[in-house]
Amino acid sequence: MATLYVDRKFVEMQSVRRTLQLVDSEGQKQILPLKQIDRIVLHGKVSTDTGTLGMLTDAGINITMLTGRFGRRQASVTGAYGKDVQRRVAQYQAYLDRHKSLEIATCLIKRKLAGQQRLLNLARQQRPDQRHALSKGIQSIRQIRSKLEQPVASIEILRGYEGAAAAGYFEAYRSVFADSLGFEGRKRRPPPDPVNSVLSLAYTLLHSDAVKTLHSTGLDPYLGYLHEPAHGRESLAADIIEPLRPKVDSMVWEMFRERRLVAAHFTIRDDGCLLGKTGRAIFYSQYEQNAKPMRRWLRLFCHALIGKLVDAVN
């Protein structure tokens, strides 16, 4: 099973029997069996119809629609929820139990900080010229991790710890990139430099993978524990990708370190930094190579979370 990226203008997407056909403006046709597709990412002017969307969702194929020059996620089309409603009941009850909610959120942050520390340790080995900055970031994360060895009093305190660790982490992480890239830390909406541009796109795709996993396992993507519920925000999806962010950060660093992505792939404008079509093709290929273990982790984590939630109710 694979991800189909449709990143072209004026493409028509049609369903014909158990195949998906892509027809471009010149009439050239690409035919793909549905059984070879697990998810579809659309970016560009793609037209389709409700019959095709229905066929894809019936087949369990998730569709992510990216919009605008910065590739923000506008919508996702997924199949039916997992059918065990008791999972969602247990999820809601855990949210109302502030002790249980805090326990889940703390687990996620512990995993995230461990991943951040591993990445900075690796970077320190490969970039001895930045040893001071990286060591400072590692020490900052160590201090926060030591505080998490004791019970955290509230979700607000936990978020404060996570924010402090993130500040130290990105101050160190920025040091591994060439100064010419202009990366001064995590910034978005719009991303002002090539590194932030790629980080945003990668996090967007990972978030979409999390939404798909939550739907298929029967959990509500909108009700989270670390991220408070907010209108239109899939808070649980935002929660469960936190431990995977360091893996994305590592992938992005590797793409620039090995010069798979270079300045020529980007256009910097007053309203932000854009990754061009050639660069996006390179990025999509690299993301897919790294996504398989992350998707497996999401599935395993969701099933472990379900077990914890249901056991708590019973």
Among 54, 77, 100, which residue terminates a domain?
77
Note whether 73 and 107 are same-domain residues: no
Q: In this structure, are residues 208 and 62 in contact, taking their beta carbons and an 8 Å threshold?
A: yes
User: Which residue type sits at 98?
Assistant: R
Apex CA 262: angle with CA 177 and CA 122, to 5°?
35
Among 48, 77, 106, which residue terminates a domain?
77
Judged on CB neighbours under 10 Å (0-12, 13-18, 19+), 307 is exposed
Cβ atoms < 10 Å from Cβ of 297: 17
The domain of 63 spans 2-77
Note whether 90 and 124 are same-domain residues: yes
Provide the pLDDT for residue 127: 92
The residues near 125 (Cβ < 8 Å, ≥ 6 apart) are none
Note whether 105 and 70 are same-domain residues: no
Note whether 29 and 113 are same-domain residues: no
- Give the number of domains in the chain: 2
CATH number at residue 162: 1.20.120.920
16-62, pLDDT tens digit by residue?
A: 878 888 888 777 888 888 888 888 888 877 888 888 888 888 888 88
Measure the CA–CA gap between 167 and 210, rounded to whole angstroms. 25
Note whether 21 and 123 are same-domain residues: no
Note whether 128 and 214 are same-domain residues: yes
Note whether 63 and 172 are same-domain residues: no
Cα separation values, 79 from 63, 160, 215, Å: 9, 36, 8
Note whether 149 and 13 are same-domain residues: no
Note whether 258 and 227 are same-domain residues: yes
Pairing between β-strand 29-33 and β-strand 19-23 as defined by DSSP bridges: antiparallel
Averages of pLDDT over runs of 10 residues in the chain (314 residues) are 79 84 82 85 83 83 74 66 83 94 96 97 94 96 95 95 95 94 89 94 94 92 92 93 97 96 89 88 93 95 91 63
With helix as H, strand as E and coil as C, how does the chain read? Answer: CEEEEECCCCEEEEEECCEEEEECCCCCEEEEEHHHEEEEEEECCEECCHHHHHHHHHCCCEEEEEECCCCEEEEEECCCCCCCHHHHHHHHHHHHCHHHHHHHHHHHHHHHHHHHHHHHHHHHHHCHHHHHHHHHHHHHHHHHHHHCCCCCCCHHHHHHHHHHHHHHHHHHHHHHCCHHHCCCCCCCCCCCCHHHHHHHHHHHHHHHHHHHHHHHHCCCCCCCCCCCCCCCCCHHHHHHCHHHHHHHHHHHHHHHHCCCCCHHHEEEECCEEEECHHHHHHHHHHHHHHHHHHHHHHHHHHHHHHHHHHHHHC
Note whether 167 and 55 are same-domain residues: no
Provide the pLDDT for residue 1: 55
Note whether 6 and 145 are same-domain residues: no
Note whether 252 and 175 are same-domain residues: yes
Among 52, 77, 102, which residue terminates a domain?
77
Measure the CA–CA gap between 102 and 261, rounded to whole angstroms. 39
Backbone angles phi, psi at 231, to 5 degrees: -55, 120
Measure the CA–CA gap between 198 and 39, rounded to whole angstroms. 20
CATH number at residue 58: 3.100.10.20
Provide the pLDDT for residue 82: 66
